[in-house]
Structure 1
């Protein structure tokens, strides 16, 4: 009986390793946060946190200095890293088309499938989870989204090994208020 249980545990561990090796695996490399209007918001923290050899997470938090009632815009685009420019800075190129959302409308009916997938990455890790207005929030945060969670969610998406970024821009009244960029590397597919 003991021998059979040991073999079963070994087999399950082996299957997990094969899935990890042959499934898509990504790792966060950086996150940048910038408040463009200090009267509306400020960055409290913005970091990639190392949790282990192959595991890390993203944490960020913006203090909200004024309530946001409506007219919230969200722009995002997935980019891939191209060759470096002459001065050594990365040359980011579009990987997917850009998406512009009216967030008050999106939070009501989740009408955009690509945006729905992006927001599923942070589900349970953020207070960005209700419709407008945002009047009582003192901050907007995303906490402890791990690369292993995201890796399991993006399996099946055709992405080659390499460096990627999700560039995001939040606006109110058609004025950019916050820029947040998430950088990651696809290590295996």
Structure 2
């Protein structure tokens, strides 16, 4: 019996590690254009199967000392519905301590493509430059068992206890 269980886990592990991620849509929205705007919010195609994201956030009220981030992982099933967990954390505290394992997994997918690599205060615009789909394949698709389908990551950025902007990343996970 245990041999079948080991075989089943091995097959499941192989399909999880062989997932392919493709960005399908990106939506950036600023709730207050006097606070921030998105000059760049786009998906660029490298080829048919690989795409990358570019996001540029122009901030008008600097410095930023208090940032909270809400992250929702959604799956499309007759509309986008929560599938995994909701994550809400103090981004400034996380960037200083880096002690939340789920937040670290999410952060590591875009850390090398962004200038959000230091703790608060932020005295500059925020850039995510060429966030490639391979980063998600190495991050979530390898360590978190996610089946094939259409997914989204909804983020809401809050400063001084006021929601300021949202970024919604839509993507598809399929077998290679």
Please show how residues 105-144 of structure 1 align to structure 2 within 5 Å: 105-135=93-123, 137=124, 139-144=125-130
Q: Scaled by the length of structure 1, what TM-score is found?
A: 0.80
Deviations 1:30-78 (A, max 9, x none): 1110011111111111111100121110111110111133221100011
Instruction: After TM superposition, give the deviation of residue 148 of structure 1 in Å.
Output: 2.2
The verdict on how the C-alpha distance between 1:187 and 1:71 changes in structure 2, with shifts beyond 3 A counting, is same
Aligned to 1:180: 167
Unaligned residue ranges in structure 2 (runs of 5+): 1-13
Q: Figure out how many residues of one structure are paired with residues of the other and give that number.
A: 162
Computed over aligned residues only, the root mean square deviation of the Cα atoms, in angstroms, reads 1.8
Structure 1 runs of 4+ with >4 Å offset: 19-22
Unaligned residue ranges in structure 1 (runs of 5+): 1-18, 84-90
Q: Check the 8 A contact 2:65/2:121 in 1, yes or no.
A: yes
The verdict on how the C-alpha distance between 1:161 and 1:132 changes in structure 2, with shifts beyond 3 A counting, is same
Q: Scaled by the length of structure 2, what TM-score is found?
A: 0.86
Q: Check the 8 A contact 1:22/1:188 in 2, yes or no.
A: no
- Structure showing greater Rg: 1
Question: C-alpha distance in 2, partners of 1:101/1:148?
Answer: 25
